[in-house]
Chain A
């Protein structure tokens, strides 16, 4: 396992969300504050939580879409996010070598490059590991997905090395929102970027699902795949495109993660994946707004948990939410009751 403690902390106010649980104590809670600093501290956590939650939400959409259409947990989705982060890092390095990394155009180029290639990964994964197994027995696609997850992690470990990759901060600084007793609440530019880009991407995505022929085909496949194919919808193509879109969203999340936290390794996909899956379940799996809502909730819970209780157990908090949701609220917040037919 990678010891994340060796490298410099990525952000001044930072909540470093995914790194190995060991040795991470110093980056999270900035300690107990008096009652005076309470509001400022809570506000800072709110900002951190929302921007983290947006990243989870973007990944969770991929889980929920795939689940909605083929009823399968795409276990490798967290690792697709990791691939997206790595591709963004490589794009950043390439562009800065070419001197094109200045300004917003650079960021957009990074986003585009990473989206295209990550989408290709999503397409290839579906084609290789999931499509042949459609209609096979129940556990087969899941086991195949676990295999793909292991392959992706170790492929990146072999090809890019096991060491963590610390990137220089591209967008430093932020806006000072309030100052209270020496505690400065900062709304970092990267956080603004995360929230802005996520909202924009989700808006485009919502239009895609609700207004376009592709979205209609996707929704039709979700309701009844056999019937949809009888009515002339190319279900294989629709499912492929679902994976492509899911991977593209995960890649945006990867880019945002890289810009915000600056440190990645081949293992970040595992925890991020489980947490995003938790978000999808919490919001009601199969429901797109639910995934974003669930992501925000998980981000907030995790941030506040680390800020006020314990950083060490923040992953336990997220996992416990998953277990509790599945036991007491299996349909999630916005999900609908699933009727089991024979």
Chain B
């Protein structure tokens, strides 16, 4: 009986898949040598896809006995194990991150990869404040990253300010933009907010692209000064006033990379620390309450606008820090680095890590950024996998893989709250 049902369902699935995949996969349009478009046939590719859909549906129905998937927020069998693992994993990760440059065999490539991953960890943690804690879907987070990067680049270029002066300034400017954008739009419902932040991100990018006299337009800004070690530049000359000369080391280009690595590690840990501390304070609790039920928050006398604005401003500030770091690391920035795809990647990290979970975001950044960096050949499949993973996670476990939460503050014994018990308000 079940087999019959499964076969029927799988056949329907295969027919739909044939409708979807035959035109777009089997018939490939190519610009021919004459400049005219030609069709190239790829029947095997389409057949493989259709076969996969057929087998997938068949397996699904045979295994679960149902034709549809249901989202679940209840604790899975792996929940406790994951939580216990998480307790051990966080210090282990930290220790590994701290000693990474000292591990023998770690060369420049791995350090650069580490810097890249940590940048995304920091961005993920920054966005986590906005999306994970306060429940405001921000699709234009990359705008604050861009504001931070351009703030540092322009301040350094026009006023000759050093990185250490510009870093807080970049954060403040980004936070200022966050408030400026947030103030009028935060009264909007969640999904409107998402689109407006998206529009804002695009506006910033288009302005950066077209304001050629200030930002250099599509050519970007190059020659952005590198950071110094408390006033000691990383120079290859090895003279008296340089980092290598001061500490009596052999001048090496790796010094700066190691320094940048620790710098972004410190910045990311700062983001994490601030978030963890704030979660225990009235402000952080107000964020989480807001995420659960906005109307109840209002009824309890929480100033919704101020609460949302602080989340927005703080998230933006950390984005700005990360941007300034990005600028000084690359020494070159252009609007191309700040497209919507970048926002989508950061959001994917936060979503896949489980909204609101700090360690989850770090692991997601490591897997998504580090993983795809290692499989470089599959570059064009990367976003396809990201998007698909976002859908799958939302459909199967919308509250993230762990699915339970430990309340930040509790009366009496602290217990994990099953996701089933957490009612979701509509604000």
Contacts and interface: CB of A to CB of B under 8 A. Distances in A.
Interface of A: 1, 21-22, 72-73, 75, 83, 86-87, 89-91, 93-94, 97, 116-117, 120-121, 123-124, 128-129, 131-133, 136-144, 146-151, 153-163, 165-168, 270, 274, 277-278, 281, 310, 312-313, 315-316, 319-320, 322-323, 326-327, 330, 340, 342
Nearest first, the 4 A-B pairs at minimum CB distance are A150-B387, A147-B390, A151-B387, A319-B199
7 contacts: A132-B395, A144-B391, A144-B394, A147-B388, A147-B394, A148-B391, A154-B387
B391 A151 contact: yes
B76 to A, nearest CB: 17
Interface residues of B, number: 69
A132 B388 contact: no
B25 interface: yes
Given A147-B388, A150-B384, A312-B209, 10 more contacts: A73-B191, A90-B29, A93-B38, A128-B391, A133-B398, A141-B394, A146-B344, A274-B199, A310-B210, A315-B203
B98 to A, nearest CB: 33
A93 B344 CA distance: 34
Contacts of B380: 154, 157-158, 162
A1 B391 contact: no
Contacts, number: 199
B135 interface: yes
Contacts of A312: 206, 209-210
The B contact surface, by secondary structure, is: helix
B207 interface: yes
B132 to A, nearest CB: 10
A139 B135 contact: yes
Interface string B197-225: 01110110011011000000010000000
Contacts of A97: 39
The A contact surface, by secondary structure, is: helix
B71 A274 contact: no
A324 to B, nearest CB: 9
A157 B25 CA distance: 11
Contact of B394 (A72, A89, A143, A161): A143
Interface stretch (B15-23, B80-88, B255-263, B405-413): B15-23
Contacts of B192: 73, 281, 326, 330
Contact of B24 (A87, A137, A322): A87
B426 interface: yes
B424 A159 contact: no
A326 B196 contact: yes
A147 B387 contact: yes
Contacts of A278: 199
Contacts of A168: 36-37
B163 to A, nearest CB: 29
